[in-house]
Amino acid sequence: MRSELLTSILSDLNGSSADIEASAIISTEGLMIASLLAVNMDEERVGAMSAAMLSLGERTASELERGELEQVLVKGKQGYILMSHANSDSVLTVIVKPSARLGLIFLDVNRAAEAISKIL
């Protein structure tokens, strides 16, 4: 049941914008909790990289005195990867097209993260 609710939240998130290509909920240890990833994406790799980037982001924010980490944004030529805490033990990772309006994506991701935190 919990898994179905989390997948439903991801489905709603992916459907909220044509610019969102994939999304996943990952534990801070890198284990996949729920995902709607493209078939060419390896769940284990996405999970491990998301956890590593989140950990590095937390350390960077702390070391540079920027306060508590809110999100990590990676920009590549083919688009963006956005990672945001869903709660203290999980991260929401979203893969976005390069043409995306990031303000709207941030809003949708924050709403999804709040919904996820109520379930986990």
* CATH code assigned at 38: 3.30.450.30
14-42 pLDDT per residue, tens: 999 999 999 999 999 999 999 999 889 99
- Residue 56 is predicted with a pLDDT of 93
What residue type is assigned to position 64 of the chain? L
The boundaries of the domain holding residue 114 are 2-119
Residues 55-85: tens digit of each pLDDT: 999 999 999 999 999 899 999 999 999 999 9
Percent over 70 (pLDDT), the chain? 100
| Total number of domains constituting the chain | 1
* CB neighbour class for 37 (10 Å; exposed up to 12, middle 13-18, buried from 19): middle
Contact between 115 and 8 (Cβ < 8 Å): no
